[in-house]
Amino acid sequence: MAVTIRDVAEASGVHVSTVSRAFSAPHLVNPVTRTRVLAVAEDLGYRPNRAARALTTGRTHNIGLIVADIANPFFPPLIKAAQAQARLRDYHVFVADTDEDPQVEEELIQTLTKQVDGVLLCSPRLTNKTIERLREEVPFVVVNRRVKGMPTVLMDVGRGVRLAVEHLTGLGHRRLALVTGPSGSWTSKEMQAAAAAMSEADVTFLGPNPPTELGGLAAVTDVIASGATGVLAYNDLVAIGLIEGLAERGVDVPGEISVIGVDDIVPGRLSRPKLTTIAMPTAAAGRIAVDLLLGSVDSEATSGVTVLETSLIVRESTGEAHT
């Protein structure tokens, strides 16, 4: 016969409700007791029936994680960290990719809200008004977008831009270009605002652009025409594409043009020249976002904005300006 929750309770010396909480709400159970219960359950071969639990508790113990482009190396560290954090709370994560399409994003949200207890939106392309409307069915947490009254995790890209501009001007660059991202990107708008507020250099904004290597390649002509000697790209993929395109035109990086990316993805560390970049704390954002979301699911007060610090990592793609 199949092992039941009563068998686990009896073998553990606890009440059935304690076994139930050990699986459904582990943070409410004494760690020592939870460890004993889980060990007994493992020994007996007990597996909780998630469907039955959902009928009893009204919880699916699933959360949705929607990203703008799963092929972008920015997202996997965030996804892995979010999954690991959710697993600690006995939650599963459904990951969905919008392919940078707001309409697909809306359709995915509407589908997932019927199957999950909450949704993490990472770098959404929808308008704030649409996000506010869609959140009415389940709790939302937004990463890299500021939405009024909604729990939010932001990576302080504005600080990173200021550090990048200071680095370039310190190397003697006075004419800069910012290769922006998609028109619906909060990060791109924050980068433009931060760059525009700095008086140390003349910054030309070039975009919008796809947030990909091809976007960087396509921006090469405009970058050269701008006369900029220092360039800040929307992300590392754009920066890598830009460097590739400049090399095809015979323009040396960093000898003639310095380039800085954003995200600190692995390909940027392996490219030649190695990419100077604004490092984004993606793994920390994933963990914190899950904690905020599950707090909302548990009816805890979780509003407000969590801002994570960024940093500038100087490698080989920036150098002194030559006039």
Q: Could you tell me how far CA 178 lies from the centroid of its own chain?
A: 21
List the strands of the sheet with 311-313, edge to edge. Answer: 202-206, 175-179, 230-233, 258-263, 276-279, 311-313
pLDDT at 1 over 70: no
Q: What confidence category does residue 82 fall into, taking pLDDT thresholds of 50, 70 and 90?
A: very high
CA distances from 248 to 148, 207, 229, 241, 263 (A): 45, 21, 17, 11, 24
> Does 182 fall in a domain?
yes
| Mean local confidence (pLDDT), 240-247 | 98
Quick one: 40 and 95 in the same domain?
no
Q: Where are the alpha helices (DSSP H) in 135-197?
A: 157-170, 186-196
Give a yes or no: residue 320 inside a domain.
no
Residue 183 lies in a domain: yes
194 and 240 share one domain: yes
What CATH number does residue 17 fall under? 1.10.260.40
In the predicted structure, residue 258 carries a pLDDT above the cut 70 = yes
Q: What is the pLDDT of residues 132-153, one digit of tens each?
A: 888 888 889 999 999 888 899 9
Domain count, the chain: 3
- For the chain, give the mean pLDDT: 92
Pair (109, 166) in one structural domain: no
Give the burial class of 96: count Cβ atoms within 10 A of its Cβ; 0-12 exposed, 13-18 middle, 19 or more buried: middle
Is residue 55 scored above 50 in pLDDT? Answer: no
Q: What tens digit of pLDDT does each residue of 85-112 get?
A: 999 888 999 999 999 999 999 999 999 9
pLDDT of residue 322: 83
Nearest Cα neighbor of 316 from 259, 241, 262, 267 is: 259
The phi, psi pair for 36, rounded to 5°, reads -65, -45
Q: Which domain holds residue 43?
A: 5-48
> How far is residue 177's CA from residue 165's CA, in Å, rounded to a whole number?
10
Instruction: List the beta bridge partners of residue 258.
Output: 230
* pLDDT, tens only, 271-301: 999 999 999 999 999 999 999 999 887 765 5
Q: Is the pLDDT of residue 4 over 60?
A: yes
The percentage of residues in the chain with a pLDDT greater than 90, rounded to a whole number, is 77
